[in-house]
Structure 1
């Protein structure tokens, strides 16, 4: 009898791992079985807000590879089937077919846990009411789109102001809803520092989004049928025909926890550099259900991004397939947009840097994305953190017009290479008036940071 690879989760990490293992062991006796409780495979969860907003017309547009395509590659894909128990001692998993209620034990030689993340649902009255949506999967997105189409009113409330919350608020505006965003933070996008988040707030106000900051949601008021009608706070309420939770996500590791697999502070699985679960040579994990090493702070963090998930899958599939690969860690790079405003960040903000015990200089500069005289030049704000004395780059945040967001990639490379801000000033970046001033905005910030480091203090 040959080896069996069992995968829990059929999105980025799971199907990348399965596909890579199949490539490396094509034609031999490796059996690959994949379980997923949903209806889709290999899709872009990051694209869901753009589907809701109408930029993407069909769910299928977000699917990189269909179930039929995976099955054609000799992968036994079992959708609408949830793994409810892992038995590491007996090397088997218990699955539940959601449509029939059938339970089945399946043996494994190699197990991949790729269960992803789930939207955070705070324990508030009415949070599970009809009309309250978290958006993490294509099934979630379809449920929300259906609800928006049939809503009798046009009031929408977004709870939380993270990346997904902000993107969903814009999508709802484009759907013709009046949108209120309620968040306990001082500014939207809490992965940015508040001074940079204030630029996002201004853009959101310009779109017609009512942003209520520094306010704790206490619950959801429902009607006699159990449908949400308002979001409540300590002293007021906001009418709601639809509520979207944009508080963030948590690792979907309940089944791993019950199996006794090691979890970190965030609840994410702990792995080694090859993505093997610590203490379990025959179990791998990756994607949104694991913690990753932050290469800047040296700490473990939960960062849910498709870029990491796909890379984890490649590493895992290589390991299962008999090869060797590792995932060294991340610097925390993310980009987004709010209307025409682009947002990018990488490395540490002030709060995270202080939490890591680092001392640093902070500079903020204003520039433009093109030569100032060139048509279409738009303003751009760049904030940069550099470690005291050493001058090591710690983090960059960018908010601005066309061309702002992807500039953060320059900083991401510099962070990975552990460059100082002084070294960054000599980077040979491309220049032409339609694309950049003579001094790129990132290098302008690096020069300012280098001066701050040289002055000391």
Structure 2
């Protein structure tokens, strides 16, 4: 019996989770697995890069879950520094180039996994490729940033973009003793929150000495005589910089897939069925940051780049390639982050997303504390909740506050997945003791106010 051939493009979360799961289900005699990774590392946590840059964790080794050597020892032929440059769907083969030698070779497959990840947004501005300008997407990027911080003469940093990576990196560089300016074109940092909640994040950033510039469009990265970055220029001002970090978000890396004619959605991510099989292609699978996923709240597909999803995608793909059965039903858009002592959590839809989806809603915001108000260490917490008009169906929750705020969003994520109403949410039997929560948990307080808003809207 001839072994089937599985080829994986991408050696990080989705790709290697798929390969590892398939290997557990099929022996090398049943399934040959070859994986290609253009970088130097495999199976790593890119989410840890800001904490490496800030000196809170060691890197890069501490951020690697499994090395290429460990994958090979488990029967997966992982080839690093090898880039797939062409995909021939009709011929069921990929063209791979060894980046060290330049040698190219075609490799046939019976099953193909596309796990090419995402690429950082890098606008075509003058000086954007100057020495000292860094993206934060791979461990190679992280190493370049850490090395650059060691040699920054003036210890001045500008972060372009105030999303998750931007605010986390800003905190990291403050910890390293840098003067930090964050430039964001939106009205508030953290566009993954509604502006009123983003304003709370801005206050916290300013409180730790970060200069936050909003409503500003970057027009140029200025460079010195040696080609090194010296400043970031906006439409209104100029900010000196020895280090620039781009935190403008990411886009699905689907260049290879597009060229091969594979289907992509509105945000540019590959479209798959529930089994993570690329639509219209029975033996091609895709997962991780290069795909779009079903939003269970809005019913639309979205691009959400998170390692949690990527690992689940890989498990689903590997199970199906290995002869089992698994599906990935979708997401509710849960994410957490922190800026110094401020924790940030969100799940479900923002106001703008709900409006775009054609949903009519009410919102409610409550102020509470992380523990009973009389208990030492209680911290302020703000919870915002969106509910559908008439039905009261929970649509989204945002939480900003002190210790204990971020992971409270998990309760809302479960409620969203279950399709609960805010009225049903008020009756949840959550744990209580003064060191952990007020008698009425902040999430339940917000649910009560949202339920009242739904009832008042129905009357009026």
Structure 1 and Structure 2 fold alike (TM over 0.5) = yes
In the alignment, which residue of structure 2 is the partner of 1:84?
85
1:107-139 Cα offsets, whole Å, 9 max, x none, are 010000001111100111111111111000111
Q: Are the counterparts in 1 of residues 28 and 75 from structure 2 also a CA contact under 8 Å?
A: no
SS at match of 2:180: strand
In the alignment, which residue of structure 2 is the partner of 1:269?
270
Indicate yes or no: 2:377 matched with 1:376: yes
SS at match of 1:289: coil
How far does residue 175 in structure 1 lie from its aligned partner after superposition?
1.2
- Partners of 2:166 and 2:381 in 1: CA distance: 23
- Partners of 1:305 and 1:234 in 2: CA distance: 32
Unmatched runs of 5 consecutive residues or more in structure 2 = none
SS at match of 2:198: helix
Indicate yes or no: 2:313 matched with 1:312: yes
SS at match of 1:18: helix
Count of residue pairs brought into register by the alignment? 457
How far does residue 29 in structure 1 lie from its aligned partner after superposition?
2.0
- Partners of 2:214 and 2:28 in 1: CA distance: 58
1:30-58 Cα offsets, whole Å, 9 max, x none, are 00000000111111111111111111022
In the alignment, which residue of structure 2 is the partner of 1:446?
447
**The 10-residue stretch of structure 1 (64-73 or 388-397) with the greater mean CA deviation from structure 2:** 64-73
1:68-110 Cα offsets, whole Å, 9 max, x none, are 1111111001000001110000000001111111111100100
SS at match of 1:288: coil
How far does residue 376 in structure 1 lie from its aligned partner after superposition?
0.5
Q: How does 1:214-253 map to 2 (within 5 A)?
A: 214-253=215-254
How far does residue 165 in structure 1 lie from its aligned partner after superposition?
0.5
- Partners of 2:235 and 2:4 in 1: CA distance: 57
- Partners of 1:376 and 1:46 in 2: CA distance: 28
Q: Are the counterparts in 1 of residues 38 and 81 from structure 2 also a CA contact under 8 Å?
A: yes
Indicate yes or no: 2:45 matched with 1:51: no
Q: How does 1:35-434 map to 2 (within 5 A)?
A: 35-434=36-435
How far does residue 9 in structure 1 lie from its aligned partner after superposition?
0.5
- Partners of 1:41 and 1:27 in 2: CA distance: 21
How far does residue 64 in structure 1 lie from its aligned partner after superposition?
1.0
1:224-263 Cα offsets, whole Å, 9 max, x none, are 2222111111232111111000010111111111111111
- Partners of 1:167 and 1:254 in 2: CA distance: 29
**The 10-residue stretch of structure 1 (232-241 or 98-107) with the greater mean CA deviation from structure 2:** 232-241
- Partners of 1:117 and 1:219 in 2: CA distance: 24
- Partners of 2:230 and 2:456 in 1: CA distance: 57
**TM-score of the aligned structures, taking structure 1 as reference length:** 0.99
Unmatched runs of 5 consecutive residues or more in structure 1 = none
- Partners of 2:173 and 2:274 in 1: CA distance: 40
In the alignment, which residue of structure 2 is the partner of 1:10?
11
1:244-296 Cα offsets, whole Å, 9 max, x none, are 00010111111111111111111110111000011111100000000011100
How far does residue 63 in structure 1 lie from its aligned partner after superposition?
0.9
- Partners of 2:152 and 2:204 in 1: CA distance: 27
Q: Are the counterparts in 1 of residues 3 and 28 from structure 2 also a CA contact under 8 Å?
A: no
1:381-413 Cα offsets, whole Å, 9 max, x none, are 000000000000000000000100000000000
How far does residue 27 in structure 1 lie from its aligned partner after superposition?
5.2
In the alignment, which residue of structure 2 is the partner of 1:25?
26
- Partners of 1:421 and 1:234 in 2: CA distance: 44
SS at match of 1:211: strand
- Partners of 1:266 and 1:123 in 2: CA distance: 19
Q: Are the counterparts in 1 of residues 38 and 82 from structure 2 also a CA contact under 8 Å?
A: yes
